[in-house]
Amino acid sequence: MEMELDPPIPAATVIVMRHSSTGTPDILIVERAASMTFAGGAIVFPGGRVDPGDTVLAEALGRPLDAPRITAIRETIEESAVAVGLASRVDPALGRILQDALLGGADLGTLLQAHDLELDLDSLTPFARWMPAFKHARRFDTLFFVTAALPGDWEPHPQPGECQSAEWASAAALLERIDAGDDHAIFPTKRNLERIARFASIAEARADAARHSIETIMPWVEQRGGVDHVCLPIDCGYPVTSEPLTTAIRA
């Protein structure tokens, strides 16, 4: 008997890329607290579910379909104190101020007005859309965006209680740590890190996004060589399209 699935939860996440002296862009990543129900202890891109306030702000801006972009911006500030998606250059010190205010219950729209800030929603480029189901009743319909980091030295500060750490690191370095067992990442995060690792700039990431339609990716399980694999379509822009079930989904 198949498990009845709950309706998908709208969510958004963003891959923030910044220039690095090594020539390979750094990626903003956070490590979720081990106690978290979803992806506990895993490294992930900042993000979360679309809140009602995100929808209200999107409608107030005359862009009702862009609530996920606002979610990605808000969640990135909450989880890392790194501001993204703003229309002007700001002092990185403001990141902690905005983070503390949001975690204290402040409304993002009100904060933007108080600090004379405007959103640049178009700076977040749609990159992918994932809706894994696997064996869990709760599932997220998540829009992935890519964006460039704002100018300045944005030092990440993890959200207390929800994130154990926050840092900048290259996609290649993160994949090496995952392969070595030093870090854990869920299936969508690994696949997107592998995709991002091929790009030398945000421009290349955006160009790749433009070459692929943002169709919902719903991974499935099938046997390959007698082994269960989690698979995804081969034409969505991902260099790796399957992984053994035993490593793709951690119990």
pLDDT digits (tens, 9 = 90+) for 131-176: 987 655 578 999 999 999 999 999 999 999 999 999 999 999 999 9
Would you state the pLDDT for residue 137?
A: 58
- How many other CB atoms are there within 10 angstroms of residue 62's CB atom? 7
Give the least confident one: 19-23, 52-56, 136-140, 222-226. Answer: 136-140
Please report which confidence band the pLDDT of residue 20 belongs to, taking 50, 70 and 90 as the band edges: confident
Architecture of domain 9-172+201-210: Alpha-Beta Complex (3.90)
CA distance 66 to 37: 27
DSSP letters spanning 148-207: EPPSS-----PPTTTEEEEEEEEHHHHHHHHHHTSS---HHHHHHHHHHTT-SSHHHHHH
Helices then strands, each counted (H, E), the chain: 8, 11
How do 26-32 and 43-44 pair as beta strands?
antiparallel
Q: Give the residue extent of every domain in the chain.
A: 9-172+201-210
- For the chain, the straight-line distance linking the first and the last C-alpha, in angstroms and rounded, comes to 21
Please report which confidence band the pLDDT of residue 41 belongs to, taking 50, 70 and 90 as the band edges: confident
User: Which of 89, 58, 93 has its CA nearest to residue 73?
Assistant: 58
Q: Is the pTM of this model over 0.85?
A: yes
Compare 6 and 153 and report the one with higher pLDDT: 153
- How many other CB atoms are there within 10 angstroms of residue 195's CB atom? 23
Would you state the pLDDT for residue 132?
A: 83
How do 9-18 and 43-44 pair as beta strands?
unpaired
CA distance 97 to 53: 19
Token pair 């989880």 is at which residue? Answer: 79
CA distance 232 to 191: 10
Please report which confidence band the pLDDT of residue 183 belongs to, taking 50, 70 and 90 as the band edges: very high
